[in-house]
């Protein structure tokens, strides 16, 4: 991998926020706002895999959906190839969508049950006009080859495939439009472990082949460890730590990352494994705690943490942490 300075930024996310208004039945009470993502910024370099990890409800998927503009973010900027995706017109956005593709979690819900594989792939190419009509049959064969499905698959419906195969169809659909960035939203979470490995290896192989950039959203740390170049940890709609995979797994700095990493089971009973159990539950994103969002569960929290929100600081090269207490821990 090239050093950070040489690499080209493909996607730049500046301070995006995604606030959802929850329906409130009372007429005169103020509306409840869920701050699913509350001001996060990061860069994605061409050809790398950046993983977003965090527990359920921390805003990982929301971030992915915001970048794809599947939900309009409430605020912020997303620069992709020099253009702010959030200000381009709907019509131009449709063209840009070819560069940004997505692979979803649930292989049973991500394919239209009434379309044959042929129709699914054809539609992708037709919508983006990525391949002229005459060349599409040829291209479909190619795509199936890339993802390792037999040619007969074209004439079949999604229900005739297993979960792993469906996920391959989903990948073929994403590849059909020559994307630069693929967002994998829990792309292997619904699969068996052995199938997970196959799909992850396929993704890696395709990444090399087509110089793809992945934004890999997952809650599974072992998967993240396997695929990522860099890892970003989120908690309650905020980034707590971003670093190279090696640096993050070997030398986590944020107390939350510590706790998260300690939850990875170690397959060796002789190793003494210290598990950090956090007290309490994740606070509600409707009314997140003041100051550092983690202070309610942090064993090192001080008065400062309760009052002032920590900034994301670069403590080592490429290793950013948002914690007041890092140096003292």
Partner 1 sequence: MSIEVKSELNHSVSQVLNKPKESQIKNALAILLSNKAAMIGAMIIIFYLLIALFAPLLAPYDPYAINLDNKFIPPSADHWMGTDDKGRDILSRLLYGSRLSMGVGFAAVAFGALFGIMCGLIAGYYGKWVDSIIMRVMDILLAFPGILLALAIIAALGPSLINVTIAVGAFSVPLFARIVRGSTLEVKKLEYIDAVRSLGANDFVIIFKHILPNILSPIIIQGTLRLATAILSAAGLSFLGLGAQPPSPEWGTMLSSGRDFLFSAPYIALFPGLAISILVLGFNIFGDGLRDALDPRMKN
29: tokens are 């009470």
Mark the segment that binds partner 1 (CB under 8 A) among 76-84, 102-110, 134-142, 249-257: 102-110
Q: How many residues bind partner 1 (CB under 8 A)?
A: 38
- To the nearest 10 degrees (0 to 180), the angle between helices 163-175 and 136-147 is 130
First to last CA, the chain: 31
DSSP code at position 155: G
Nearer to partner 1, 106 or 309 (CB): 106
Site for partner 1 in 221-280 (CB under 8 A): none
* Chosen residue from 11, 100, 131, 239 binding partner 1 by CB under 8 A: 100
- Is residue 98 close enough to count as binding partner 1 by CB under 8 A? yes
Answer yes or no whether residue 104 interacts with partner 1 by CB under 8 A: yes
Asked whether position 95 contacts partner 1 by CB under 8 A, the answer is: yes
Q: Name every residue whose Cβ is closer than 8 Å to that of residue 329 and which is 6 or more positions away in sequence.
A: 253, 255, 300
**285, 291 contact by CB (below 8 A):** no
Q: Which 148-187 positions form the footprint of partner 1 (CB under 8 A)?
A: 157-160, 170, 173, 177, 186
Residues paired with residue 17 on neighbouring β-strands, in sequence order: 38, 75
**Residue count (the chain):** 329
* Least gap, CB of 310 to partner 1 (angstroms): 26
Q: Does 55 bind partner 1 (CB under 8 A)?
A: yes
Alpha carbon of 216 to those of 36, 64, 188, 211: distances in Å? 18, 9, 10, 15
CA 319 to CA 232: how far, in whole Å?
A: 10
**Least distance in Å: CB of 291 to partner 1?**
25
Contacts with partner 1 by CB under 8 A lie at: 55-56, 65, 68, 70, 93-95, 97-98, 100-102, 104-106, 108-114, 123-124, 127-128, 157-160, 170, 173, 177, 186, 189-190, 219
């Amino acid at each position: 991998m090239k050093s950070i300075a040489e690499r080209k930024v493909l996607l730049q996310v500046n301070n995006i926020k995604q606030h959802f208004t929850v329906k409130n039945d009372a007429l005169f009470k103020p509306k409840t706002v869920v701050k699913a993502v509350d001001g996060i910024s990061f860069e994605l370099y061409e050809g790398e895999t950046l993983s977003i990890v965090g527990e359920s409800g921390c805003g990982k998927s929301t971030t992915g959906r915001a970048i794809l503009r599947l939900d309009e973010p409430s605020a912020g900027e997303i620069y992709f190839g020099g253009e702010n995706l959030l200000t381009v017109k709907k019509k131009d956005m449709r063209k840009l969508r070819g560069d940004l593709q997505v692979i979803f979690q649930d292989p049973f819900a991500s394919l239209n049950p009434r379309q044959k594989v042929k129709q699914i792939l054809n539609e992708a190419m037709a919508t983006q006009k990525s391949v002229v009509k005459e060349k599409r049959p040829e291209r479909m064969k190619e795509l199936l080859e890339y993802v390792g499905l037999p040619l007969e698959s074209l004439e079949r419906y999604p229900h005739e495939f297993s979960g792993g195969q469906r996920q391959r169809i989903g990948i073929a659909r994403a590849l059909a439009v020559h994307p630069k960035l693929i967002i994998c939203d829990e792309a292997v979470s619904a699969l068996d472990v052995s199938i997970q490995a196959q799909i992850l290896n396929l993704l890696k192989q395709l990444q090399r082949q087509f110089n793809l950039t992945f934004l890999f959203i997952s809650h599974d740390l072992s998967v993240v460890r396997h695929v990522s170049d860099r890892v970003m940890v989120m908690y309650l709609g905020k980034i707590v730590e971003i670093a190279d995979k090696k640096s993050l797994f070997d030398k986590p700095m944020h107390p939350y990352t510590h706790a998260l990493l300690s939850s990875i089971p170690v397959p060796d009973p002789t190793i003494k494994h210290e598990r950090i159990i956090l007290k309490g539950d994740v606070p509600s994103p409707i009314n997140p705690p003041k100051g550092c969002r983690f202070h309610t569960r942090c064993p090192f929290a001080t008065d400062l943490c309760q009052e002032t929100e920590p900034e994301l600081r670069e403590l080592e090269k490429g290793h950013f942490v948002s914690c007041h207490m890092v140096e003292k821990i």
